[in-house]
A = this chain, B = another copy of it.
């Protein structure tokens, strides 16, 4: 076991390139659409549920386009300063430190804002001048406007299932993007993915995918969100370690997604029906 911690004072840009082709099998024409958008520098929205492969798709496209990828997990307290940059104390002097968005602009990277609806609307507004003809970002604290080089592109994602009136993109933001829909992969593809990533056999993977599909049907019966492909993989990993399959499904696929006792009973019954 290697306990040495990799501690870099500057994240070298090379690290942001994806060297190895990520494991990604396209479901529709999402790759072509993204390529066309990139060629025209149209900003892109990826819409879809938690854990259905949006992040993996971005890694795949960055690999294909040979551009560095800079990802920002958005949240309610993400400020424009967090995105753009701030002054930091380094030793005895104060130095400017680019935020991820500025870094992406400077290096002509693909900047990916994950769960963008979580960010406050005023934070999001800083991307406006990057998403029209101007392709600029004003860095107020430096008194500077930067013009994005040709390589730069902006993509954002969110889960339309969560949206509410408070958490929604403004139309003046939305109408700066084209939008690609994502969903859980089709069953046969998901079986492949679960088997590949967890190391269990196709047979067991099939059971897990079938349970997953049935759980997702409960989304219209009180379940907040369907079970993600990631959790199917977790279940597979526990099974590979010798945890009893039905128990592994409860632990990895039911308990994480709901605290509602009635729903837990219903979902456990699905597992029993298929596993036993």
Contacts and interface: CB of A to CB of B under 8 A. Distances in A.
Contact of A172 (B5, B159, B178): B159
A107 B42 contact: no
B241 A36 contact: yes
B9 A144 contact: yes
B122 A76 contact: yes
Interface string A54-80: 010000000000000000010111101
Interface in A221-253: 224-225, 227-228, 230-231, 234, 237-238, 241-243, 247, 251-252
Contacts of A160: 259
A213 to B, nearest CB: 16
A175 B257 CA distance: 7
A152 to B, nearest CB: 8
A210 interface: no
A7 B142 CA distance: 10
A146 interface: yes
A174 B159 CA distance: 15
B171 A45 contact: no
B144 A11 contact: yes
Contact of A146 (B5, B105, B107, B234): B5
Given A45-B255, A225-B171, A259-B160, A146 B238 contact: no
Given A132-B230, A181-B255, 7 more contacts: A3-B149, A9-B142, A42-B238, A51-B172, A78-B122, A87-B89, A178-B252
18 contacts: A1-B108, A1-B149, A8-B145, A11-B144, A29-B243, A29-B247, A32-B242, A42-B234, A45-B256, A73-B129, A75-B122, A88-B141, A88-B142, A97-B143, A174-B257, A178-B255, A179-B251, A180-B251
Interface of A: 1-11, 15, 29, 32-33, 35-37, 39-40, 42, 45, 47, 50-51, 55, 73, 75-78, 80, 82, 87-89, 94, 97, 105-108, 115, 118, 120-122, 125, 128-129, 132, 140-151, 159-160, 162-163, 171-172, 174-181, 224-225, 227-228, 230-231, 234, 237-238, 241-243, 247, 251-252, 255-257, 259
